[in-house]
Structure 1
Amino acid sequence: MSLDARPLAIAIMGPTASGKTAFALDVAARVGGEIVSVDSALVYRGLDIGAAKPTPAEQARVPHHLLDVRDPWQAYSAAEFADDARRALDDIAARGRLPILAGGTGLYFQALLEGLAAMPAADAGVRADITAQAQACGWPALHAELAKVDPAAAARIHTTDPQRIQRALEVYRLTGRPISDLQNAARGARLPFRVLKLVLAPADRAVLHARIARRFDLMLDAGFLDEVHRLRALPGMQAVAAPLDLPAVRAVGYRQAWEFLDGQGTAADFRERAIAATRQLAKRQLTWLRGERDVRWFDPATDRARLDEALALFLPAS
């Protein structure tokens, strides 16, 4: 039997606030790795505090890739991420370094590791019809419509995510098939790396919830609302007619902060809504991870010895 000659990579996955960043930094520093961010918020410039972006000191300690690649008023698709990430992985491996994928955006991982199914091109007429319908009855009603024709997609897409609701309905209206069926169909070429998939997730959900609340309070202390003030003041943001529809602003915490700065609710209401939204994100991430193949689960608080053993077995002896 021939040996698997593919280059190695490590994927550190898990729900938000589970300790992925700290662990990825530690592993990269120990084994000569470079981190490729797999996070749909960290691609945006200016989303630093509220997105828990690695600090300048952390980025100086270990090289990072795919941070700050778009302005917050710009779009960035999963297909674009996969192309950029593959180039980064090839470059890292070519220099004899170990690529470490770290993040919690399931669609990005899926696009990179498995490829994306072919989808119909956007149709301006269909999109205009969906937008008009949303203006008449609201995006939650369209989400309910999506749940009838594609329950699997509706379960993954939040009611406050108009871009993905619109795309899922657009695909269904163009093809007559649920977008989830197309996504589960034959995909493009798989990533030509041998990947160790590690999931960091506290076994006790209450521990994760406490970590989420504590981290958000630290973000507030670090000036998160000032950061959102600065984002709102950018000319590029002020030129957008509906900033709350932007993927960057829909990131958990940012949407709630934007609405609070628009005068919605009290500071206490804002904090509770942001923490609740982050918990909902973590729940969706865990649901996706449970459906992933070839992943190994670890509690970051109690399984460090098992994590180190998994790494030692995967990596060649030095």
Structure 2
Amino acid sequence: AERLHPNDPQRILRGLEVVEATGRTLSDWQGDAQNPLLSEPATCLMLAPARDWLYARCDARFQTMLADGAAQAEIAALSALYLPPQAMALKALGVAELQAVADDGMDVEAAIAQAQMHTRRYAKRQMTWFRNQMSDWPRFTEQDYEDNFANIFSFISKK
């Protein structure tokens, strides 16, 4: 609890859920000496595409989800559950915007633009987190990883 900021309700709630479910605090779990996930050393690297390329991929993925009908089916299923507004499932990217279309008559194009913006911001936060947490990892910044697979494979095979 000492490490949690009082204005971070999501992490506080998660900590309380862990204590309730296991009888142990998160710091107890994190402090346990555990076996490594892999028995052999791992080679770490980061795929870090250019921001414009990444954002275009995020936008296209959201459009594909809409075209495939997956998003609409998921929104209908979530609505049928009558979840409280603070439920984590309702905080997934695109859910609020698509629910606003279904429930409040929000313009579809405006909802798509807003959901795509939130997705791009999430991707930016992820890239910032990786840059800060994995600062010593080699980065491959080429956008077309299939064309540059040889470079990445060469790096891995030298380790």
TM, length-normalised to structure 1? 0.37
- Report the AA paired with residue 296 of structure 1: P
Who is 2:153 aligned against?
Answer: 308
- Report the AA paired with residue 218 of structure 1: T
Q: Which segments of structure 1 move beyond 4 Å, counting only runs of 4 or more?
A: none
Preserved CA contact (<8 Å) 1:163 1:245: no
Structure 1 pair 301–190 and aligned structure 2 pair: CA distance change class (3 A): farther
RCO greater where, 1 or 2, for CA within 8 Å and sep 6 or more? 2
Q: CA deviation at 1:227?
A: 2.7
TM, length-normalised to structure 2? 0.69
- Report the AA paired with residue 230 of structure 1: A
Q: CA deviation at 1:245?
A: 1.6
Higher normalized helix content (fraction of residues) = 2
Structure 1 pair 291–262 and aligned structure 2 pair: CA distance change class (3 A): same
Who is 1:110 aligned against?
Answer: none
Q: CA deviation at 1:200?
A: 1.8
Distance, in Å, in 1 between the alignment partners of 2:152 and 2:63 is 29
Who is 1:265 aligned against?
Answer: 106
Task: State which of 45, 53, 58 in structure 2 corresponds to 1:198.
Answer: 45
Distance, in Å, in 2 between the alignment partners of 1:282 and 1:309 is 28
Who is 1:278 aligned against?
Answer: 119
Calculate percent identity across the aligned residue pairs.
Answer: 29
Who is 1:213 aligned against?
Answer: 59
- Report the AA paired with residue 297 of structure 1: R
1:94-109 superposed matches below 5 A: none
Distance, in Å, in 2 between the alignment partners of 1:190 and 1:264 is 51
Instruction: List per-residue Cα deviations over 1:51-81 (Å, max 9, x = no partner).
Output: xxxxxxxxxxxxxxxxxxxxxxxxxxxxxxx
Structure 1 counterpart SS, 2:115: helix
Q: CA deviation at 1:276?
A: 0.6
Q: CA deviation at 1:250?
A: 0.9
Instruction: Give RMSD over aligned pairs.
Output: 3.2
Structure 1 pair 212–297 and aligned structure 2 pair: CA distance change class (3 A): same
**How many residues matched?**
137
- Report the AA paired with residue 274 of structure 1: A
